[in-house]
A and B are shown apart, each in its own frame.
Chain A
Amino acid sequence: SYELAQPPSVSVSPGQTASITCSGDRLGDLYVYWYQKKPGQSPLLVIQQNSKRPSGIPERFSGSKSGNIATLTISGTQAMDEADYFCQVWDTTAVFGGGTKLTV
Chain B
Amino acid sequence: QVTLKESGPVLVKPTETLTLTCTVSGFSLSNAGMGVSWIRQPPGKALEWLAHIFSNDEKSYNTSLNSRLTISKDTSKSQVVLAVTNMDPLDTATYYCARCYDSGDRRYFDVWGRGALVTVSS
Contact = CB atoms under 8 A, between A and B. Distances in A.
Interface in A36-91: 37, 42-45, 48-49, 54, 86, 88, 90
A43 B108 CA distance: 12
B92 to A, nearest CB: 17
Given A1-B64, A37-B47, A94 B37 contact: yes
Contacts of A92: 60
Interface stretch (B13-21, B24-32, B80-88, B112-120): B112-120
A48 B108 contact: yes
Contact of A42 (B64, B106, B113): B113
A99 B47 CA distance: 8
Contacts of B52: 93-94
A97 B62 CA distance: 14
B1 to A, nearest CB: 14
B46 A86 contact: yes
Given A45-B109, A49-B106, A95 B49 contact: yes
A42 B39 CA distance: 11
Nearest to B45: A99
A42 B61 CA distance: 22
Contacts of B41: 37
B63 A1 contact: yes
Interface of A: 1, 31, 33, 35, 37, 42-45, 48-49, 54, 86, 88, 90, 92-99
* Chain A to chain B: the 8 pairs with minimum beta-carbon distance, closest first: A90-B107, A42-B112, A94-B49, A96-B47, A33-B108, A99-B46, A98-B46, A86-B47
Interface of B: 37, 39, 41, 46-49, 52, 60-64, 96, 98, 100, 105-110, 112-115
21 contacts: A31-B105, A33-B108, A42-B112, A42-B113, A42-B114, A42-B115, A43-B47, A43-B98, A43-B109, A44-B112, A45-B108, A45-B109, A54-B110, A86-B47, A93-B60, A93-B62, A94-B39, A95-B49, A96-B46, A96-B49, A99-B47
